[in-house]
Structure 1
Amino acid sequence: MDAHQQDTANPFGMDEDCENCPGLCGARTQVVHGYGDVGADFAFVGERPGPGADGTGVPFTGDAGGEAFLSVLRRLGLCASPADSEEPELHNAFLTYLTRCRHPERPPTDEEVATCEPYLNAEIRMINPEIIVPVGERALAEVSTEYTTTPADEFDLVSDAGEAIRGRGFELVPMIPPGEATDEQTQSFVESFSALMASDYRQTKGRRSR
Protein backbone atom coordinates (compact mmCIF):
# COMPACT_ATOMS: atom_id res chain seq x y z
CA MET A 1 0.00 0.00 0.00
CA ASP A 2 1.53 3.31 -1.09
CA ALA A 3 0.55 6.82 -0.11
CA HIS A 4 -0.59 9.28 -2.73
CA GLN A 5 1.71 12.03 -1.52
CA GLN A 6 -0.37 14.87 -2.99
CA ASP A 7 -3.68 13.58 -1.60
CA THR A 8 -4.87 14.55 1.84
CA ALA A 9 -8.21 12.68 1.72
CA ASN A 10 -7.81 8.91 2.10
CA PRO A 11 -4.20 9.09 0.86
CA PHE A 12 -3.71 5.33 1.20
CA GLY A 13 -6.59 4.48 -1.14
CA MET A 14 -8.59 2.48 1.41
CA ASP A 15 -11.94 0.93 0.50
CA GLU A 16 -14.54 3.71 0.38
CA ASP A 17 -17.36 1.21 -0.11
CA CYS A 18 -16.43 -1.03 2.83
CA GLU A 19 -19.28 -3.29 3.98
CA ASN A 20 -17.49 -5.20 6.74
CA CYS A 21 -19.89 -3.98 9.45
CA PRO A 22 -23.52 -4.71 8.46
CA GLY A 23 -24.88 -2.67 11.36
CA LEU A 24 -23.19 0.50 10.09
CA CYS A 25 -23.53 0.28 6.32
CA GLY A 26 -27.14 1.35 6.14
CA ALA A 27 -26.80 4.02 8.82
CA ARG A 28 -23.77 5.89 7.51
CA THR A 29 -23.65 8.55 4.83
CA GLN A 30 -20.15 7.51 3.76
CA VAL A 31 -16.96 5.85 4.93
CA VAL A 32 -14.60 8.38 6.54
CA HIS A 33 -10.96 7.33 6.20
CA GLY A 34 -7.92 9.27 7.39
CA TYR A 35 -7.03 12.74 6.16
CA GLY A 36 -3.96 14.92 6.32
CA ASP A 37 -0.19 14.95 6.00
CA VAL A 38 1.13 11.44 5.27
CA GLY A 39 4.53 12.47 6.67
CA ALA A 40 3.07 13.83 9.89
CA ASP A 41 4.73 13.53 13.28
CA PHE A 42 1.31 13.81 14.95
CA ALA A 43 -1.61 11.43 14.36
CA PHE A 44 -4.94 12.32 16.02
CA VAL A 45 -7.30 9.38 16.55
CA GLY A 46 -10.96 9.84 17.49
CA GLU A 47 -13.60 7.21 18.22
CA ARG A 48 -15.85 7.63 15.15
CA PRO A 49 -17.02 10.26 12.67
CA GLY A 50 -19.19 12.97 14.11
CA PRO A 51 -22.35 14.04 12.27
CA GLY A 52 -20.34 16.62 10.36
CA ALA A 53 -17.61 14.25 9.23
CA ASP A 54 -20.26 11.74 8.18
CA GLY A 55 -21.43 14.38 5.72
CA THR A 56 -18.11 15.88 4.60
CA GLY A 57 -16.08 12.67 4.50
CA VAL A 58 -13.24 14.43 6.35
CA PRO A 59 -12.46 13.63 10.02
CA PHE A 60 -13.16 16.29 12.64
CA THR A 61 -15.01 18.66 10.28
CA GLY A 62 -18.53 19.84 9.54
CA ASP A 63 -19.96 20.44 13.00
CA ALA A 64 -19.34 22.33 16.25
CA GLY A 65 -17.12 19.59 17.65
CA GLY A 66 -14.99 19.67 14.52
CA GLU A 67 -14.67 23.44 14.65
CA ALA A 68 -13.52 23.26 18.27
CA PHE A 69 -10.97 20.61 17.33
CA LEU A 70 -9.62 22.51 14.32
CA SER A 71 -9.42 25.66 16.44
CA VAL A 72 -6.97 23.84 18.71
CA LEU A 73 -4.94 22.68 15.72
CA ARG A 74 -4.86 26.27 14.45
CA ARG A 75 -3.50 27.44 17.81
CA LEU A 76 -0.81 24.76 17.57
CA GLY A 77 0.16 25.80 14.05
CA LEU A 78 -0.96 22.47 12.59
CA CYS A 79 -3.90 23.86 10.59
CA ALA A 80 -3.75 26.83 8.22
CA SER A 81 -7.48 26.90 7.41
CA PRO A 82 -10.47 28.45 9.18
CA ALA A 83 -11.96 26.23 11.87
CA ASP A 84 -15.12 25.71 9.81
CA SER A 85 -13.21 24.41 6.79
CA GLU A 86 -14.46 21.11 5.36
CA GLU A 87 -11.09 20.42 3.70
CA PRO A 88 -8.56 21.89 6.13
CA GLU A 89 -4.97 22.54 5.14
CA LEU A 90 -2.97 20.55 7.66
CA HIS A 91 0.74 20.64 8.36
CA ASN A 92 2.43 17.79 10.26
CA ALA A 93 -0.93 16.36 11.37
CA PHE A 94 -3.01 13.37 10.28
CA LEU A 95 -6.61 12.84 11.41
CA THR A 96 -8.37 9.50 11.65
CA TYR A 97 -10.75 7.33 13.68
CA LEU A 98 -11.06 3.93 15.32
CA THR A 99 -14.12 3.26 13.16
CA ARG A 100 -14.84 4.81 9.79
CA CYS A 101 -18.64 4.79 9.78
CA ARG A 102 -21.18 6.60 11.94
CA HIS A 103 -24.37 5.18 13.37
CA PRO A 104 -26.51 8.15 14.40
CA GLU A 105 -28.06 6.36 17.37
CA ARG A 106 -25.18 4.55 19.06
CA PRO A 107 -21.40 4.31 19.43
CA PRO A 108 -19.54 1.49 17.66
CA THR A 109 -19.56 -1.95 19.20
CA ASP A 110 -16.36 -3.67 20.29
CA GLU A 111 -16.72 -5.97 17.29
CA GLU A 112 -16.99 -3.01 14.91
CA VAL A 113 -13.90 -1.39 16.42
CA ALA A 114 -12.01 -4.67 16.01
CA THR A 115 -13.22 -5.08 12.43
CA CYS A 116 -12.03 -1.58 11.54
CA GLU A 117 -8.69 -1.89 13.36
CA PRO A 118 -6.72 -3.01 10.26
CA TYR A 119 -7.48 0.35 8.62
CA LEU A 120 -6.10 2.29 11.59
CA ASN A 121 -3.15 -0.04 11.98
CA ALA A 122 -2.24 0.37 8.30
CA GLU A 123 -2.42 4.16 8.54
CA ILE A 124 -0.24 4.23 11.66
CA ARG A 125 2.32 1.91 10.08
CA MET A 126 2.46 3.93 6.87
CA ILE A 127 2.68 7.33 8.57
CA ASN A 128 4.91 6.15 11.45
CA PRO A 129 4.15 9.25 13.56
CA GLU A 130 6.21 10.29 16.54
CA ILE A 131 3.11 11.07 18.63
CA ILE A 132 -0.34 9.47 18.64
CA VAL A 133 -3.05 11.65 20.16
CA PRO A 134 -6.09 9.61 21.30
CA VAL A 135 -9.05 12.00 21.31
CA GLY A 136 -11.60 10.91 23.91
CA GLU A 137 -12.05 8.02 26.35
CA ARG A 138 -12.73 5.27 23.81
CA ALA A 139 -9.78 6.21 21.63
CA LEU A 140 -7.51 6.35 24.68
CA ALA A 141 -8.62 2.89 25.81
CA GLU A 142 -8.14 1.29 22.40
CA VAL A 143 -4.88 3.02 21.48
CA SER A 144 -3.32 2.41 24.89
CA THR A 145 -4.26 -1.26 24.69
CA GLU A 146 -2.58 -1.55 21.30
CA TYR A 147 0.51 0.56 21.95
CA THR A 148 1.31 0.29 25.68
CA THR A 149 1.72 -2.55 28.17
CA THR A 150 -0.42 -0.80 30.78
CA PRO A 151 -4.06 -1.90 31.31
CA ALA A 152 -6.40 0.64 29.73
CA ASP A 153 -8.29 1.19 32.99
CA GLU A 154 -5.17 2.66 34.57
CA PHE A 155 -5.40 5.69 32.28
CA ASP A 156 -7.66 8.62 33.03
CA LEU A 157 -8.50 11.01 30.20
CA VAL A 158 -8.79 14.11 32.36
CA SER A 159 -5.68 13.63 34.50
CA ASP A 160 -3.57 12.25 31.63
CA ALA A 161 -4.65 14.84 29.03
CA GLY A 162 -1.65 16.59 27.53
CA GLU A 163 0.80 14.22 29.26
CA ALA A 164 3.36 12.42 27.11
CA ILE A 165 3.20 8.68 27.80
CA ARG A 166 5.78 6.33 26.39
CA GLY A 167 4.27 3.43 24.48
CA ARG A 168 5.53 0.63 22.27
CA GLY A 169 7.18 2.55 19.45
CA PHE A 170 5.16 5.74 19.90
CA GLU A 171 4.43 8.40 22.48
CA LEU A 172 0.77 8.86 23.39
CA VAL A 173 -0.65 12.24 24.39
CA PRO A 174 -4.34 11.95 25.41
CA MET A 175 -6.70 14.75 24.44
CA ILE A 176 -10.15 15.61 25.80
CA PRO A 177 -12.40 16.29 22.78
CA PRO A 178 -12.23 20.09 22.53
CA GLY A 179 -15.98 20.29 22.02
CA GLU A 180 -16.42 18.68 25.44
CA ALA A 181 -13.52 20.30 27.28
CA THR A 182 -13.64 23.36 29.48
CA ASP A 183 -11.71 26.46 28.43
CA GLU A 184 -9.18 25.68 31.16
CA GLN A 185 -8.72 22.09 29.95
CA THR A 186 -8.26 23.25 26.36
CA GLN A 187 -5.75 25.92 27.39
CA SER A 188 -3.82 23.39 29.46
CA PHE A 189 -3.64 20.97 26.53
CA VAL A 190 -2.49 23.70 24.13
CA GLU A 191 0.25 24.77 26.53
CA SER A 192 1.42 21.20 27.18
CA PHE A 193 1.36 20.20 23.53
CA SER A 194 3.08 23.41 22.45
CA ALA A 195 5.87 22.67 24.90
CA LEU A 196 6.15 19.14 23.52
CA MET A 197 6.31 20.44 19.95
CA ALA A 198 9.06 22.88 20.95
CA SER A 199 11.10 20.10 22.53
CA ASP A 200 13.27 17.58 20.72
CA TYR A 201 10.47 15.04 20.93
CA ARG A 202 12.13 12.77 18.39
CA GLN A 203 14.94 12.19 20.90
CA THR A 204 13.05 12.32 24.18
CA LYS A 205 10.10 9.98 23.73
CA GLY A 206 8.24 9.21 26.92
CA ARG A 207 8.19 11.33 30.01
CA ARG A 208 6.42 8.42 31.69
CA SER A 209 6.98 4.86 30.63
CA ARG A 210 3.97 2.54 30.54
Structure 2
Amino acid sequence: MDAHQDELSNPFSMDEDCRNCPALTDCREAIVHGYGDVGGEFVFVGESPSDAAEATGVPFTGDEAGQRLQRMLGELGFSRSPPDAEEPALQNAYLTHLARCRHPERAAHDDEVRNCEPFLNAELRMINPHIIVPIGQRALEELAIEYTTRRPESFDIEAEHATTIRGRGFELVPMRPLEEQTEAQETAFVDHVLQNVFSRDYRQTKGRRSR
Protein backbone atom coordinates (compact mmCIF):
# COMPACT_ATOMS: atom_id res chain seq x y z
CA MET A 1 0.00 0.00 0.00
CA ASP A 2 1.18 3.54 -0.67
CA ALA A 3 3.26 4.75 2.28
CA HIS A 4 1.23 7.97 2.58
CA GLN A 5 -2.18 6.28 2.45
CA ASP A 6 -4.29 5.99 5.60
CA GLU A 7 -7.27 4.00 4.32
CA LEU A 8 -7.93 1.45 1.59
CA SER A 9 -11.68 2.13 1.54
CA ASN A 10 -12.67 5.29 -0.37
CA PRO A 11 -9.15 6.67 0.05
CA PHE A 12 -9.94 9.85 -1.89
CA SER A 13 -12.86 10.70 0.45
CA MET A 14 -15.42 10.90 -2.34
CA ASP A 15 -19.00 11.92 -1.63
CA GLU A 16 -20.69 9.18 0.41
CA ASP A 17 -24.10 10.85 0.16
CA CYS A 18 -24.17 11.53 -3.60
CA ARG A 19 -27.71 12.18 -4.87
CA ASN A 20 -27.07 12.69 -8.57
CA CYS A 21 -29.23 9.69 -9.54
CA PRO A 22 -32.71 9.99 -7.95
CA ALA A 23 -33.78 6.51 -9.04
CA LEU A 24 -30.84 4.97 -7.17
CA THR A 25 -30.87 7.18 -4.10
CA ASP A 26 -34.13 5.71 -2.83
CA CYS A 27 -33.25 2.05 -3.32
CA ARG A 28 -29.53 1.75 -2.67
CA GLU A 29 -28.14 0.42 0.59
CA ALA A 30 -24.77 2.17 0.20
CA ILE A 31 -22.48 3.93 -2.25
CA VAL A 32 -19.54 1.68 -3.08
CA HIS A 33 -16.57 3.87 -3.92
CA GLY A 34 -13.14 2.61 -4.91
CA TYR A 35 -10.91 0.50 -2.67
CA GLY A 36 -7.22 -0.28 -2.74
CA ASP A 37 -3.71 1.07 -3.13
CA VAL A 38 -3.73 4.66 -4.41
CA GLY A 39 -0.21 4.08 -5.72
CA GLY A 40 -1.29 0.95 -7.57
CA GLU A 41 -0.15 0.31 -11.11
CA PHE A 42 -3.27 -1.79 -11.84
CA VAL A 43 -6.88 -0.57 -11.64
CA PHE A 44 -9.73 -3.07 -12.00
CA VAL A 45 -13.01 -1.55 -13.22
CA GLY A 46 -16.37 -3.35 -13.14
CA GLU A 47 -19.82 -2.17 -14.21
CA SER A 48 -21.52 -1.67 -10.84
CA PRO A 49 -21.49 -3.22 -7.35
CA SER A 50 -23.04 -6.60 -6.69
CA ASP A 51 -25.50 -6.99 -3.81
CA ALA A 52 -22.66 -8.55 -1.81
CA ALA A 53 -20.31 -5.64 -2.50
CA GLU A 54 -23.08 -3.24 -1.52
CA ALA A 55 -23.33 -5.08 1.80
CA THR A 56 -19.59 -5.06 2.50
CA GLY A 57 -18.99 -1.62 1.00
CA VAL A 58 -15.96 -2.99 -0.89
CA PRO A 59 -15.93 -3.71 -4.65
CA PHE A 60 -15.65 -7.36 -5.68
CA THR A 61 -16.11 -8.91 -2.25
CA GLY A 62 -18.71 -10.98 -0.43
CA ASP A 63 -19.73 -13.50 -3.08
CA GLU A 64 -18.28 -16.20 -5.37
CA ALA A 65 -17.53 -13.75 -8.18
CA GLY A 66 -15.67 -11.50 -5.79
CA GLN A 67 -13.76 -14.44 -4.38
CA ARG A 68 -12.68 -15.34 -7.90
CA LEU A 69 -11.13 -11.91 -8.41
CA GLN A 70 -9.59 -11.89 -4.93
CA ARG A 71 -8.06 -15.29 -5.63
CA MET A 72 -6.58 -13.95 -8.86
CA LEU A 73 -5.23 -10.90 -7.05
CA GLY A 74 -3.55 -13.20 -4.57
CA GLU A 75 -1.94 -15.23 -7.36
CA LEU A 76 -0.64 -12.02 -8.91
CA GLY A 77 0.82 -10.83 -5.61
CA PHE A 78 -1.69 -7.99 -5.21
CA SER A 79 -3.49 -9.36 -2.16
CA ARG A 80 -2.21 -10.73 1.13
CA SER A 81 -5.67 -11.82 2.29
CA PRO A 82 -7.75 -14.98 1.78
CA PRO A 83 -10.23 -14.76 -1.13
CA ASP A 84 -13.22 -14.42 1.21
CA ALA A 85 -11.84 -11.35 3.04
CA GLU A 86 -14.34 -8.51 3.13
CA GLU A 87 -11.56 -5.93 3.47
CA PRO A 88 -8.65 -7.41 1.52
CA ALA A 89 -5.10 -6.21 2.17
CA LEU A 90 -4.23 -4.97 -1.32
CA GLN A 91 -1.00 -3.66 -2.75
CA ASN A 92 -0.35 -2.36 -6.27
CA ALA A 93 -4.05 -2.73 -7.18
CA TYR A 94 -7.19 -0.61 -6.93
CA LEU A 95 -10.81 -1.78 -7.37
CA THR A 96 -13.67 0.39 -8.63
CA HIS A 97 -16.79 0.57 -10.83
CA LEU A 98 -18.33 2.63 -13.60
CA ALA A 99 -21.41 3.17 -11.38
CA ARG A 100 -21.17 3.40 -7.60
CA CYS A 101 -24.75 2.51 -6.66
CA ARG A 102 -26.74 -0.67 -7.27
CA HIS A 103 -30.34 -0.92 -8.39
CA PRO A 104 -31.75 -4.24 -7.09
CA GLU A 105 -33.67 -4.98 -10.29
CA ARG A 106 -31.64 -3.68 -13.22
CA ALA A 107 -28.27 -2.60 -14.56
CA ALA A 108 -27.21 1.03 -14.31
CA HIS A 109 -28.70 3.31 -16.96
CA ASP A 110 -26.38 5.22 -19.27
CA ASP A 111 -27.10 8.52 -17.55
CA GLU A 112 -26.26 6.94 -14.18
CA VAL A 113 -22.90 5.79 -15.53
CA ARG A 114 -22.31 9.30 -16.88
CA ASN A 115 -23.14 10.78 -13.50
CA CYS A 116 -20.40 8.62 -11.97
CA GLU A 117 -17.79 9.46 -14.61
CA PRO A 118 -16.27 12.27 -12.52
CA PHE A 119 -15.57 9.79 -9.70
CA LEU A 120 -13.86 7.29 -12.00
CA ASN A 121 -11.98 9.96 -13.93
CA ALA A 122 -10.71 11.47 -10.69
CA GLU A 123 -9.52 8.09 -9.44
CA LEU A 124 -7.67 7.32 -12.66
CA ARG A 125 -6.14 10.79 -12.78
CA MET A 126 -4.90 10.60 -9.19
CA ILE A 127 -3.73 6.99 -9.34
CA ASN A 128 -2.26 7.27 -12.85
CA PRO A 129 -2.03 3.47 -13.34
CA HIS A 130 -0.11 1.66 -16.04
CA ILE A 131 -2.73 -1.07 -16.56
CA ILE A 132 -6.53 -0.80 -16.50
CA VAL A 133 -8.51 -4.05 -16.32
CA PRO A 134 -12.08 -3.56 -17.62
CA ILE A 135 -14.25 -6.38 -16.28
CA GLY A 136 -17.11 -7.16 -18.67
CA GLN A 137 -18.28 -5.80 -22.01
CA ARG A 138 -19.76 -2.56 -20.72
CA ALA A 139 -16.65 -1.55 -18.81
CA LEU A 140 -14.52 -2.40 -21.84
CA GLU A 141 -16.62 -0.27 -24.18
CA GLU A 142 -16.79 2.68 -21.78
CA LEU A 143 -13.03 2.70 -21.25
CA ALA A 144 -12.39 2.18 -24.95
CA ILE A 145 -14.16 5.46 -25.71
CA GLU A 146 -11.75 7.36 -23.49
CA TYR A 147 -8.50 5.46 -23.81
CA THR A 148 -8.25 3.83 -27.25
CA THR A 149 -8.62 4.89 -30.87
CA ARG A 150 -10.87 1.93 -31.75
CA ARG A 151 -14.62 2.12 -32.00
CA PRO A 152 -16.18 0.75 -28.77
CA GLU A 153 -18.45 -1.62 -30.71
CA SER A 154 -15.37 -3.24 -32.28
CA PHE A 155 -14.48 -4.81 -28.93
CA ASP A 156 -15.72 -8.24 -27.87
CA ILE A 157 -14.96 -9.18 -24.27
CA GLU A 158 -14.89 -12.88 -25.12
CA ALA A 159 -12.23 -12.36 -27.79
CA GLU A 160 -10.30 -9.71 -25.84
CA HIS A 161 -10.20 -11.60 -22.51
CA ALA A 162 -6.64 -12.04 -21.26
CA THR A 163 -5.07 -9.90 -24.02
CA THR A 164 -3.31 -6.54 -23.94
CA ILE A 165 -4.71 -3.54 -25.81
CA ARG A 166 -2.50 -0.50 -26.25
CA GLY A 167 -4.38 2.62 -25.26
CA ARG A 168 -3.75 6.33 -25.04
CA GLY A 169 -1.48 6.52 -22.02
CA PHE A 170 -2.65 3.21 -20.54
CA GLU A 171 -2.77 -0.42 -21.51
CA LEU A 172 -6.07 -2.28 -21.16
CA VAL A 173 -6.11 -5.95 -20.16
CA PRO A 174 -9.79 -6.96 -20.47
CA MET A 175 -11.43 -9.63 -18.34
CA ARG A 176 -14.67 -11.53 -18.90
CA PRO A 177 -17.40 -11.02 -16.27
CA LEU A 178 -16.30 -12.81 -13.12
CA GLU A 179 -19.52 -14.80 -12.74
CA GLU A 180 -19.15 -16.16 -16.30
CA GLN A 181 -15.52 -17.21 -16.19
CA THR A 182 -14.42 -20.81 -16.28
CA GLU A 183 -11.38 -22.01 -14.34
CA ALA A 184 -9.48 -22.13 -17.64
CA GLN A 185 -10.32 -18.48 -18.37
CA GLU A 186 -9.31 -17.47 -14.86
CA THR A 187 -5.98 -19.24 -15.35
CA ALA A 188 -5.55 -17.66 -18.79
CA PHE A 189 -5.90 -14.16 -17.34
CA VAL A 190 -3.41 -14.77 -14.53
CA ASP A 191 -0.95 -16.41 -16.93
CA HIS A 192 -1.25 -13.54 -19.40
CA VAL A 193 -0.40 -10.97 -16.74
CA LEU A 194 2.47 -13.06 -15.37
CA GLN A 195 3.94 -13.98 -18.73
CA ASN A 196 3.10 -11.01 -20.96
CA VAL A 197 2.76 -8.04 -18.62
CA PHE A 198 5.08 -8.70 -15.70
CA SER A 199 7.70 -10.23 -18.00
CA ARG A 200 8.27 -6.91 -19.80
CA ASP A 201 8.60 -3.35 -18.65
CA TYR A 202 4.97 -2.31 -18.99
CA ARG A 203 5.92 0.96 -17.29
CA GLN A 204 7.37 2.12 -20.59
CA THR A 205 3.81 2.89 -21.71
CA LYS A 206 3.90 5.96 -19.46
CA GLY A 207 6.44 8.45 -18.27
CA ARG A 208 5.67 7.66 -14.66
CA ARG A 209 8.31 7.91 -11.97
CA SER A 210 9.56 4.73 -10.36
CA ARG A 211 7.96 3.75 -7.07
TM-score by length of 2: 0.93
| 1:84 aligns to 2:91 (yes or no) | no
Q: CA deviation at 1:70?
A: 0.6
Task: Letter of the 2:132 partner, please give it.
Answer: I
Q: CA deviation at 1:105?
A: 0.4
**Which residue number corresponds to residue 140 of structure 1?**
140
**Which residue number corresponds to residue 131 of structure 1?**
131
Moved more, 168-177 or 116-125: 168-177
**Which residue number corresponds to residue 71 of structure 2?**
71
* Matched residue count: 203
Per the alignment, in what secondary structure is the counterpart of residue 40 of structure 1?
Answer: coil
Task: Letter of the 2:106 partner, please give it.
Answer: R
User: After TM superposition, which residue ranges in structure 1, 4 or more long, deviate above 3 angstroms?
Assistant: none
Give distance in 2, aligned partners of 1:182 and 1:84: 19
**Which residue number corresponds to residue 150 of structure 1?**
150
Deviations 1:158-194 (A, max 9, x none): 1111111111111111011233101111111111011
Q: What runs of 5+ residues in structure 2 fail to find an aligned partner?
A: 207-211
| 1:169 aligns to 2:169 (yes or no) | yes
Per the alignment, in what secondary structure is the counterpart of residue 133 of structure 1?
Answer: strand
Give distance in 2, aligned partners of 1:63 and 1:93: 19
**Which residue number corresponds to residue 208 of structure 1?**
none
Give distance in 2, aligned partners of 1:47 and 1:56: 17
Task: Letter of the 1:136 partner, please give it.
Answer: G
Deviations 1:84-111 (A, max 9, x none): 1010000100000000000110000000
Per the alignment, in what secondary structure is the counterpart of residue 180 of structure 2?
Answer: coil
Contact 1:80 1:88 in 2 (8 A): yes
**Which residue number corresponds to residue 109 of structure 1?**
109
Task: Letter of the 1:170 partner, please give it.
Answer: F
RMSD of aligned C-alpha atoms? 1.4
Contact 2:46 2:98 in 1 (8 A): yes
Q: What runs of 5+ residues in structure 1 fail to find an aligned partner?
A: 206-210
Q: CA deviation at 1:198?
A: 2.9
Give distance in 1, aligned partners of 2:64 and 2:104: 16
**Which residue number corresponds to residue 40 of structure 1?**
40
Give distance in 2, aligned partners of 1:88 and 1:141: 28
Give distance in 1, aligned partners of 2:177 and 2:154: 19
Q: CA deviation at 1:204?
A: 5.4
Give distance in 1, aligned partners of 2:45 and 2:87: 17
Task: Letter of the 1:199 partner, please give it.
Answer: R
**Which residue number corresponds to residue 6 of structure 1?**
6
Contact 2:37 2:93 in 1 (8 A): yes
Moved more, 186-195 or 41-50: 186-195
Give distance in 2, aligned partners of 1:111 and 1:23: 11
Q: CA deviation at 1:74?
A: 1.0
Give distance in 2, aligned partners of 1:53 and 1:150: 32
Per the alignment, in what secondary structure is the counterpart of residue 141 of structure 1?
Answer: helix
Give distance in 1, aligned partners of 2:99 and 2:205: 31
**Which residue number corresponds to residue 202 of structure 1?**
203
Contact 1:79 1:88 in 2 (8 A): yes
Give distance in 1, aligned partners of 2:114 and 2:205: 31
Task: Letter of the 1:7 partner, please give it.
Answer: E
